[in-house]
Amino acid sequence: MAKRPDFFLISMAAERLDMHPQTLRKYERLGLVQPHRTLGSMRVYTQDELDRIRLIKTLVDREGINLAGVQRLLSIVDVARRLHPLVRETARTSPRAEVHRRLEDEVAALFRLLGLDEPGE
């Protein structure tokens, strides 16, 4: 079985996502994605970034959310992703474990509302 690549140049990413490379450049200008750059300044996307772009595409195309709204939602997602492991760890170590378990449940609910898998799942 062939191993799929871990990194994709913009042309490969655009093809996999069925998008125009210019759209990916626009998403970068807006700060929606931050592809790495090669020494020659070529954009390189990871699988996680492709997944993020698929989410953006879904929010725009299917849900009718404009790019400003998508930026706001992705900011919420980023905060929730940073918060989730902290809540999970605190739930295991705190004497107020029940409260922290409830917090963890709420963060998980946020991920479900956003249509995302919980980190580490």
CATH of the domain at 12: 1.10.1660.10
Looking at this protein, which amino acid is placed at residue 112? Answer: R
Listed residues 64, 79, 105: the one ending a domain: 64
Looking at this protein, which amino acid is placed at residue 99? Answer: V
Number of domains in the chain: 2
Residues 106 and 59 in one domain: no
Report field, pTM of the whole predicted structure over 0.85 = no
Inform me whether the pLDDT recorded for 4 exceeds 80: no
Mean per-residue pLDDT for 83-106? 75
At 57, is the pLDDT very low, low, confident or very high (cuts 50, 70, 90)? Answer: very high
Please give the residue range of the domain that contains residue 107: 66-121
How confident is the model over 102-113, as pLDDT tens digits?
777 777 877 777
Answer whether 42's CB lies under 8 Å from 35's CB: no
Mean per-residue pLDDT for 3-30? 92
